[in-house]
Structure 1
């Protein structure tokens, strides 16, 4: 037995040595492969490097693809290919955005400017993708006004390029935002434009455009999206045309992204015309893709809701319960992510504030250099300082000043935190003119007046969500709808607006 024990120990040692040697060999081979690939890439022109970046798979991209892009960026930096570096960062940002890792997505988007990659010589394509990526990020955060501004800054320039690829992409993004805020006719208009120019891109008359798999698959997605908006407008006959076209297009190109979108809208279409087996078939395809490739809440929640609705129409209780639980799991797993999104934006605002403070200190230093130009610098400083101060007043939550009766005010605050039904009654007693002033502006519902009272008391978005047992996204949406209903200017902070209501 002793001999057998030592024999086994010896075998284990040999195995460990083999593993150790193999591991060292693998590391050496990896380094060697990297050196060879770096040498190969270093011989490429900037345009060739861009093409290599564009050819990297997007729909199924993960750590390996990001690692490859990082290695390409290093080579581009060595060759001073700034446009290529910027495009590499933006592609990584887009991959993280697709996987709902917003912190890293913002990080790589910001690197484009932090490394001074945007200047007068920057290719228009880079600037376009930067605005498009930021629009996507702000849309995901629910900041749709800011998202639209990113597109507005580029729209006229994009149309002037007459580049079918750029035109269809920007219209597609516009359509998605308008669809989210329930402006269906505007969404339809932009989807039609995107559809038209995506076909022009694919036809590629005169070989004006480079056709690669990623861009090609994207261009095919306009058909199912157009079908989807017709379904929303209750026009199944029109939707049918584009669903059939999308299913035919799916056979032309083997790509996960186009398969997911086509299956999703095909499932919705067949559900709407009561063809349950076909709807189930397409939605199951969609579900499998979402589980294996798309971990983002948007992708999984959409298909889960459609499947739940499908089984509700057929009365299959077990399936209804299954997908109801799945929806709860999705919402639960993304709760932390939603928190991260808001923290990311807060951090960005903090960085911008620090940057402004640093610039102000530098300006003070310059003012002290020369007496001859002192008056000019003081004038410029006062001008920009006042402009900056007036701009930021609308971004700072002005603390609410309670009246003399401190105990009554504390009672109102406590009722608000408890979401007590008596809250609005006590609030109106304490501020008798508040509801009256609101109703002069717009005929609000009781629930909306109650929500306004929370804002007037200076509760933050997170606090309102906590006290009213809703999500942060729901509170943001209510604020957005309230802005529209009350005609609150876009550049005015909603808390500042309410603080001035009774003055």
Structure 2
């Protein structure tokens, strides 16, 4: 009831303000920036929509861009990647970004789109989007730290640890520069300030991954001190997740458990994204296994399978939508190309007809042209044979698959000691069959397939944050 009252009060005050005096674009941008991101949900999206309508009425295009991108980022946080892409697409559809657009709006558009593509495992597209704004970001600490921070995340996913560490170091230093100049800046935002503390925790995590415990301790202690100064859920979550990782490696399991419980509470109450929950659950499994609490470890293992299944399904929907969009663009280009080809063919045929017609009357001879058409007969290719054998659960499937994808089995055997049945299961995943499809083809339950996937992830050391299907695809690159 109180929330509804406050929301109505906000809309009324915004409505009154917008008609009592003409709001400046900067004042509206500040309102958007200061809407809490970490705890944002449907109520905050309604507020931003209202501000967007005012921006549209006043022809504040930059402010419209910020509004749409803030909504996109909130949906991304809440794991509704389809809606996140929808709102970034609106910016393009409405042609809000032009040569006169403020760089900050352009920067956010590129970084948020990059983040969404990174989430889908499309790292080349993600890097390209960042590269497009990198030159203009030089010499501006706020933009540089955000850019380097995002570069670092992509490099880390690509297992380029040295590059990731350097990028996190730059992000850390540039964020400190930004805070030093914060009080002298004309445009201030509490959310921007809070966000600038996050690279400290990420840098500690990078040192931790590289086994540099002393460096990790220095930055995690700094991050924990910063967390006490800034009352913001995003800071608390990311600081606690890396603090838990540090204490786990330092064998202080009680402190590790304490910080993981903080993370779990924040993830459940504020973050609907499965990625946040996966990170915590994966660490809780490792913690309870090390503490010898098998029941707790098994409980979180089952929870992880459920979360992973939901995440895979949602990402697959968005990948399909992006593929469909790309296919539509390709079809458009193909249609234009075909039109040009048809026009050229029509002109050539017209010229040939004129020449033949003239030659016929000149020589008074009849020329019968019998067109013949050679239609090549295509047999089912090897891929179709392999998928057919898979659907029939044929014992010949693995043999034919090895013909289709040479070296697949050998690479898996090098990675782990796998049985033929496990290799065949990996082949199903490489062919991008869904959990439901595999269960149907192998006459097993969906739960059994999910369990097999989880065991294979453990055997092959596939990181928790890596999509299984993408891992198998990258294996053969």
TM-score, with length taken from structure 1 = 0.72
Residue 201 of structure 2 contacts residue 239 of structure 2 at CA under 8 Å; is this kept in 1? yes
Map 1:371-450 → 2, pairs under 5 A:
401-402=379-380, 412-417=386-391, 422-426=396-400, 435=406, 444=411
Q: After superposition, what is the alpha-carbon deviation per residue over 1:119-167, rounded to whole angstroms, capped at 9, x for unaligned?
A: 11111111111110110000111111111111122222222xx110100
Q: Tell me if 1:298 matches 2:275.
A: yes
1:476 equivalent to 2:470? Answer: yes
Q: Identify which of 14, 26, 49 aligns with 2:28.
A: 49
Contact persistence 1:70–1:88 (CA under 8 A):
yes
Counterpart in 1 of 2:162?
185
Counterpart of 1:136 (choices 98, 109, 115) is 115
Query: What CA distance in whole angstroms lies between the structure 2 residues aligned with 1:128 and 1:26?
Result: 32
Mapping of residues 84-163 of structure 1, within 5 Å: 84-159=63-138, 162-163=139-140
1:123-272 equivalent positions in 2, closer than 5 A: 123-159=102-138, 162-204=139-181, 207-208=184-185, 210-272=187-249
Q: Does 1:38 align with 2:38?
A: no
State the Cα deviation string for residues 41-86 of structure 1 (Å, max 9, x = none): x622112221121111111011111111111111111111111111
Summarize deviations over 1:176-211 as a string: whole Å, max 9, x none. 111112211111010000000000001117824633
Structure-2 separation of matches of 1:155 and 1:344? 28
2-side partners of 1:30 and 1:54: how far apart? 16
The counterpart of 1:76, out of the listed 55, 67, 71, is 55
2:285 is equivalent to residue 308 of structure 1: yes
Check the 8 A contact 2:182/2:188 in 1, yes or no.
no
Figure out how many residues of one structure are paired with residues of the other and give that number.
413
- CA distance change for structure 1 residues 400 and 327 in 2, over 3 Å: closer, same or farther? farther
1:456-501 per-residue CA deviation (whole Å, 9 max, x = no partner) reads 99x9634699459659932223223422xxxxxxxxxxxxxxxxxx
Question: 1:55, 1:213 within 8 Å by CA — same for their partners in 2?
Answer: yes
Match in the other structure for 1:62: 41
Change (3 A) 1:29 1:92: closer
Match of 2:355 in 1: none
Per-residue CA deviation, residues 300-359 of structure 1 (Å, 9 max, x unaligned), is 010111111111111012221222222123223334313322233134324534664787
Q: Supply the RMSD in Å over aligned alpha carbons.
A: 3.9
- Give 1:38 shift: 3.4
Unaligned segments of structure 1, at least 5 residues: 1-24, 369-398, 484-503
- How many Å apart are 1:87 and its aligned residue? 1.1
Task: Tell me which residue corresponds to 1:380.
Answer: none
Quick one: distance in 1 between partners of 2:181 and 2:7? 45
2:339 is the alignment partner of 1:345: no
Which runs of no fewer than 5 residues in structure 2 stay unpaired?
Answer: 345-376, 443-448, 455-465
The alignment partner of 1:334 has SS state of: helix
Establish whether residue 461 from structure 1 lines up as the match of residue 432 from structure 2: yes
**TM-score (norm: length of structure 2):** 0.76
